[in-house]
């Protein structure tokens, strides 16, 4: 992680998000990149590891790796410093047996949806069997491009991509904002996004492992938050509450969703109308063009060579309407 990112982070154990973190860099690339070390809360002493350049801002790292058992072994083998290796070995003694609700390997490198989302963002081929059948040329990342295209440039602003996967939208937003942060719960997605970031030498963005419902940031921080195709994967009211706290006054948020509850039973069920109503009740002002009209934007996921998911997703934008959530 970039060392300067530390000043934007907050301890997730403090709900108001006003407890700053300090960084102990144990291994670096010789510049401003911490490749191994710890972030520490200055008040409660909670620590968050930085592993292979990826900051893991989760309150319970043991619970996280318990549902991703292959990760811990990889971390121990790849760790370069004695302090981190010892931390990880101690972590291994506190693992718990995961239940079904904790099985979160879907989006890790050995999970069934990791390549699916990479394909949708970066790795698709225009000669793909399914895409070549389309009468009109469609690309899986058209949705992300549309969101970025409809976003005004703010070269002094900061943007946040919640549920960023491997980071395509964040990379595009970095052309319009001073700084962009991508957040995802998948260590594999964040590792891939940071690999691309380093390869492209793009200096005004970074990616961290964190929970969208426990974002590790100071309040009133962002000029834009985007949350694309994630509201059906989590508690919507909690998500809106967190986003409201993160946005500056009158700042903007962009959502898209296929409202597909076959992928998970975790989310709060909403439809286009009820979601717009919930936004207004949660202290947001839905922008006029999105108040009544639904969007139908194509979004495609490739599960394997014989199976694809094709969605028409809804897309809308809103602004933070009140200093205190109504």
Q: Which residues contact 267 (CB under 8 A, 6 or more apart)?
A: 231, 232, 233, 234, 235, 236, 261
Task: Evaluate whether 258 touches 294 at the Cβ level (below 8 Å).
Answer: no
Nearest to 50 by CA among 218, 207, 213: 207
pTM of the model: 0.94
Domain with CATH 3.40.50.150 in the chain: 106-320
Q: pLDDT band at residue 18, thresholds of 50, 70 and 90? A: low
How far apart (Å, rounded) are the C-alpha atoms in residues 93 and 229? 36
Task: Evaluate whether 149 touches 170 at the Cβ level (below 8 Å).
Answer: no
The confidence score (pLDDT) of residue 260 equals: 80
pLDDT of 275-312, one tens digit each? 999 999 999 999 999 998 899 999 999 999 999 999 99
pLDDT of 100-121, one tens digit each? 544 568 899 989 999 999 999 9
Lowest average pLDDT, out of 91-100, 235-244, 250-259, 313-322, goes to 91-100
6, pLDDT greater than 50: yes
Mean pLDDT of 16-29: 85
Cα angle 44, 50, 56; round to 5: 70
How far apart (Å, rounded) are the C-alpha atoms in residues 45 and 95? 21
228, pLDDT greater than 80: yes
The confidence score (pLDDT) of residue 59 equals: 94
247, pLDDT greater than 90: yes
267, pLDDT greater than 80: no
Lowest average pLDDT, out of 129-143, 164-178, 179-193, 261-275, goes to 261-275
Query: Distance from CA of residue 50 to its chain's centroid?
Result: 17
Percent above pLDDT 90 for the chain: 79
Lowest average pLDDT, out of 117-121, 133-137, 253-257, 286-290, goes to 133-137
The confidence score (pLDDT) of residue 29 equals: 86
The confidence score (pLDDT) of residue 15 equals: 63
Residue that is written with structure tokens 């989590």 in the block? 234
Q: 106-320: what CATH class?
A: alpha beta
Q: pLDDT band at residue 2, thresholds of 50, 70 and 90? A: very high
16, pLDDT greater than 70: no
């Amino acid at each position: 992680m970039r060392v300067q990112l530390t000043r934007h982070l907050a301890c997730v154990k403090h709900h108001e998000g006003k407890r700053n973190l300090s960084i102990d860099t144990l291994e670096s690339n010789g510049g401003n990149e911490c490749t191994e070390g710890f972030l520490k809360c200055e008040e409660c002493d909670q620590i968050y590891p930085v592993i292979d350049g990826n900051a893991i801002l989760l309150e319970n790292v043991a619970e996280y790796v318990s549902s991703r058992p292959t990760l811990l072994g990889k971390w121990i083998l790849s760790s370069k410093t004695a302090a981190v290796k010892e931390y990880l070995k101690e972590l291994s003694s506190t693992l718990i047996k995961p239940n079904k609700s904790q099985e979160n390997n879907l989006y890790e490198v050995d999970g069934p949806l990791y390549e699916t989302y990479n394909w949708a963002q970066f790795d698709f081929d225009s000669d793909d069997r399914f895409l070549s059948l389309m009468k009109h040329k469609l690309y899986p990342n058209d949705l992300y491009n549309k969101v970025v295209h409809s976003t005004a440039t703010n070269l002094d602003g900061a943007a946040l991509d919640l549920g960023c996967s491997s980071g395509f939208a964040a990379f595009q937003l970095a052309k319009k904002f001073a700084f962009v942060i991508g957040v995802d719960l998948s260590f594999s997605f964040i590792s891939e996004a940071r690999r691309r970031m380093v390869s492209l030498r793009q200096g005004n963005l970074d990616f961290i492992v964190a929970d969208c419902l426990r974002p590790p940031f100071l309040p009133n921080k962002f000029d834009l938050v985007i949350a694309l195709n994630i509201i059906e994967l989590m508690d919507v009211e909690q998500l809106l509450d967190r986003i409201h706290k993160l946005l500056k006054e009158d700042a903007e948020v962009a959502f898209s969703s296929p409202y597909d509850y076959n992928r998970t039973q975790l989310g709060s069920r909403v439809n286009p109308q009820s979601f717009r109503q919930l936004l207004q009740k949660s202290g947001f002002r839905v922008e006029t063009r999105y108040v009544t009209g639904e969007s139908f934007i194509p979004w495609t996921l490739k599960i394997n060579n014989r199976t694809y998911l094709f969605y028409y997703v809804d897309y809308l934008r809103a602004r933070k309407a009140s200093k205190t959530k109504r």
